[in-house]
């Protein structure tokens, strides 16, 4: 079922030979941009029309009532409820340990740089539910926000036909278990736009930041709206890369590959191994297990797509290099400069240099969930005196490289005969 890529003879960077999905976030921007603009102009009315078009459900009022949340929690299987409660407990322990303390650094006498992390006021959390339902996404989004001290939390998840136009009961139950009572039955790119712009007519307040996984169109909406809102990352279709040698159990490896393939037809499942025997055994096991799943067609589409493959390598060392190359390519794409209709967003280093005191750090990595739901306040740089105007003279005239008054800088320049005239003009 899975195609083979043989890199055993490769000596250079094999990044171009690795499997990738044919549709990426940049390609989806053209489809998403008109929808985002429509939601900006007309609010929930536009999101409602998109929901009917894409999900086949008409939702006149998007907010899920408190009674529906409680009913979903009461009807939840006790074993599932216990599992969610344990997941919440463990996630809270991890994120509590990730909390950042303020850092003060004295650079020069009287010059101190301070880094403080404070929570944003309101976050919108997206929980997928169109093709597959994962209440774990509720846990992974809500717990970091609560630990960070976010004041207002709203959850959006696609409506389900079988649930009366509300999100899946397991998602509603997870929200109730975490004490989240603001839940909306909106999914896809329109949900991201609605959380970004809000709609006072239906009581939806704009969010400062939107986080959560989703398909390529959700990721495209987040890229398009970055700057209007803070985002965590452009997650896009899920990917998994399994590095295994001959000692691995093909049953477990196949199950791991299938667990990601069920997310989306564009999901990528990649096995990297130095064992041709394991590759054959895993391929056979995948074929067997796919037939036992609920979403056979979706999983088969993902596993047979060009984004999935079994990659053969010489040894585990080369396998590690291939894994690094596979994981770094999406990161590089998400950090590169991109242009969307009517706006430009820049790469992370440039954005960080441009950040001003009190601004939200909109480019924090999802790898640190605490920074994904916080505001980073950058102090004013102490490199130059605030009274020092940048002189409009020749390139030879340079501002002082340390804090100091203007007169001292002028006297310093007058010590050099070629700069005396320029310094006097500045004075």
User: pLDDT tens across 305-327, in order?
Assistant: 999 999 999 999 999 999 998 88
- The pLDDT of 367-395, averaged and rounded, is 35
- The pLDDT of 410-417, averaged and rounded, is 40
Domains of the chain: residue spans and CATH: 4-20+238-333 (3.40.50.1980), 25-236+336-377 (3.40.50.1980), 383-427 (no CATH)
Q: What residues contact residue 10 under an 8 Å CB cut-off, 6+ apart?
A: 17, 318
- The pLDDT of 360-367, averaged and rounded, is 34
Q: Are strands 268-273 and 309-312 parallel, antiparallel or unpaired?
A: parallel
The 10s digit of each residue's pLDDT in 159-215 is 999 899 999 999 999 999 999 999 999 999 999 999 999 999 999 999 999 999 888
Mean pLDDT taken over the chain: 80
- The pLDDT of 26-36, averaged and rounded, is 91
pLDDT at 52: 96
Cβ–Cβ under 8 Å, residues 152 and 122 = yes
What is the spatial distance between Cα 68 and Cα 388, in angstroms, rounded to a whole number?
Answer: 61
What is the spatial distance between Cα 376 and Cα 378, in angstroms, rounded to a whole number?
Answer: 6
pTM of the shown model: 0.69
pLDDT at 36: 97
The 10s digit of each residue's pLDDT in 120-160 is 999 999 999 877 788 999 999 999 999 999 999 999 999 99
């Amino acid at each position: 079922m899975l195609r083979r890529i043989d890199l055993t003879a490769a000596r250079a960077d094999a990044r171009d030979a690795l499997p990738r999905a044919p549709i990426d976030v940049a390609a989806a921007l053209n489809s998403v941009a008109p929808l985002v603009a429509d939601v900006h102009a007309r609010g929930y009315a536009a999101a409602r029309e998109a929901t009917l078009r894409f999900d086949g459900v008409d939702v006149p009022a998007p907010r899920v009532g408190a009674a529906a949340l409680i009913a979903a929690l009461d009807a939840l299987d006790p074993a599932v409820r216990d599992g969610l409660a344990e997941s919440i407990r463990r996630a809270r322990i991890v994120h509590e340990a990730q909390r950042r303390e303020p850092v003060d650094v004295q650079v020069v006498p009287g010059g101190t740089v301070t880094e403080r992390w404070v929570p944003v006021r309101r976050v919108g959390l997206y929980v997928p539910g169109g093709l597959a339902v994962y209440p774990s996404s509720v846990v992974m989004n809500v717990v970091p926000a609560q630990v960070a001290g976010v004041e207002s939390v709203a959850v959006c998840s696609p409506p389900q036909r079988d649930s009366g136009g509300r999100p899946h009961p397991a998602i509603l139950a997870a929200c109730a278990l975490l004490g989240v009572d603001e839940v909306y039955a909106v999914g896809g790119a329109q949900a991201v736009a609605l959380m970004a712009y809000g709609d006072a007519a239906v009581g939806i307040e704009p969010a400062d930041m939107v986080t959560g996984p989703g398909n390529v169109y959700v990721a495209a909406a987040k890229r398009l709206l970055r700057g209007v809102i803070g985002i965590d990352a452009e997650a896009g279709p899920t990917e998994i890369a399994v590095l295994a040698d001959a000692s691995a159990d093909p049953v477990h490896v196949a199950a791991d590959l299938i667990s990601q393939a069920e997310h989306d037809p564009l999901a990528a499942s990649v096995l990297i191994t130095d064992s041709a025997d394991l590759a054959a055994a895993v391929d056979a096991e995948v074929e067997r297990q796919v037939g036992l799943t609920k979403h056979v067609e979706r999983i088969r589409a993902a596993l047979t797509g060009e984004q999935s493959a079994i990659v053969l390598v010489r040894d585990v060392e080369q396998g590690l290099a291939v894994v690094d190359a596979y994981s770094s390519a999406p990161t590089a794409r998400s950090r590169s400069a991109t242009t969307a209709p009517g706006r430009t967003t820049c790469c992370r280093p440039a954005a960080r240099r441009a950040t001003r005191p009190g601004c939200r750090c909109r480019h924090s990595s999802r790898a640190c969930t605490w920074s994904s739901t916080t505001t980073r306040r950058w102090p004013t740089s102490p490199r130059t005196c605030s009274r020092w105007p940048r002189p409009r003279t020749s390139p030879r005239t340079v501002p002082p490289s340390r804090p100091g008054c203007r007169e001292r800088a002028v006297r310093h320049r007058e010590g050099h005969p070629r700069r005396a005239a320029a310094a006097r003009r500045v004075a």
